[in-house]
Amino acid sequence: MAMQILVAYDGSEMSNHAVEEAKAKAKEHPGSVIHVITVVFGTGPVTNAAFMRNIGHELAEKYESDMVQVRTEIEEAQLTAVTNVLVGETNRNPGATICNYAKEHKIDLIIMGNRGLGGVQKLLLGSVSNHVVNHSACPVLVMK
């Protein structure tokens, strides 16, 4: 039976493993669609919401080339891919954006890394996977 599989992608080694796992799952379930999303948001001590949205949109443009590369890799494996760069709300855990996307697109399985890119982001992204595990309406596979 075909599945809707969501990969939360941030360019880290763990998210690349998540893409590979999604490809394997999709091959087991012919007709599956792999959704790959990146959630970006402006961060920092700035309180001007419009300014933060602009930063988020600039980051979204930066990640678009990554999405093209990931989509091409999935399609070269004869699988169907949908990619999106979403601008999250600055006062909200990106995990909420991931869970909302999953609900809106009737996702059957979310695959993501347990930690993302280094530094302060590592702490934030660890909390993202925790949020998704605790709030998702569908199963979540966390890659280690």
Q: What would the CATH number be for the domain defined by 4-143? A: 3.40.50.620
Percent of the chain's residues with pLDDT above 70? 75
pLDDT band at 123 (very low <50, low <70, confident <90, very high): very low
Q: What is the mean pLDDT of the chain?
A: 83
* Structure confidence by residue, pLDDT tens digits, 60-108: 667 788 899 999 999 999 999 999 988 777 667 789 999 999 999 999 9
Domain ranges of the chain: 4-143
Does pTM top 0.85 for this prediction? no
- With beta carbons less than 8 A apart as the criterion, state whether 96 and 131 touch: yes
